[in-house]
Amino acid sequence: MQRFVCLALAGVLASGVAASASAAEPRADALALEKLAVVDVQRCLLETKEGKKAKLELERAMSRGQAKIDKKAADLQKRVQDLQAKASMLSEVELRKRQEDLMRAQAELEELSGQLQEDVAEKEALLTEKIYKNVSTIVAQIAIEEKLQAVLVRSEMTVIYVDPKLDLTNRVIVRYDKEHP
């Protein structure tokens, strides 16, 4: 009987120690939440000096390419109007030949437009990748300095709400501009 009481008492003490240990765990979890942060990478891409410069480069490239396309489109439109005006005076063979030339020119124009979009997208991807890598490095440095356990990418699709105090974006942008002028 005495053995049973001792075992029961040991069980109660063990469960009491376990309960007090588990009571401490939620506090540790609460502290862990304080070691999270977020960064809006899209803002970093758009608001760093290098990101703004890259955006201007892309806009210039797109503008130059679009000017070429617009010039060719205007030339093609003029040729179409010319053909419509002269169609009744041309032989059927000559009319068909000019129509085929216009269709080829239209296809070239569409190809040029597609190539411009591809070139700009490729250039954007290269510039974005470079900035993203630099942002990632800076975020990692800040996380180590501040002993953060996790830094999440903030976007409408991934993080719906976060306390503004946990947002590192402005600090990342400032540091980025200092390190990558």
97-140 pLDDT, tens digit per residue, is 999 999 999 999 999 999 999 999 999 999 899 999 999 999 99
pLDDT of residue 68: 93
The reply to whether 10 falls in a domain is no
What number of CA atoms fall less than 13 Å from residue 74's CA on the CB side? Answer: 6
The reply to whether 114 falls in a domain is yes
The reply to whether 3 falls in a domain is no
E strand or H helix at 82: helix 49-86
Residue 40 scores a pLDDT above 80: yes
Domain count, the chain: 1
Q: What is the DSSP letter of 35?
A: T
The reply to whether 24 falls in a domain is no
CA separation for the pair 97, 102 (Å, rounded): 9
Q: Token pair for residue 12? A: 């109660």
Note if the pTM is more than 0.85. no
The reply to whether 77 falls in a domain is yes
Q: What is the mean pLDDT of residues 64-77?
A: 94
The reply to whether 25 falls in a domain is no
Q: Contact 65/116 with Cβ under 8 angstroms?
A: yes
Residue 124: domain span: 32-179
The reply to whether 127 falls in a domain is yes
CA separation for the pair 149, 129 (Å, rounded): 24
Amino acid, res. 49: K
Count Cβ atoms within 10 A of the Cβ of residue 84 and give its class: 0-12 exposed, 13-18 middle, 19 or more buried: exposed
Q: What is the mean pLDDT of residues 70-96?
A: 92
Q: What is the mean pLDDT of residues 37-42?
A: 94
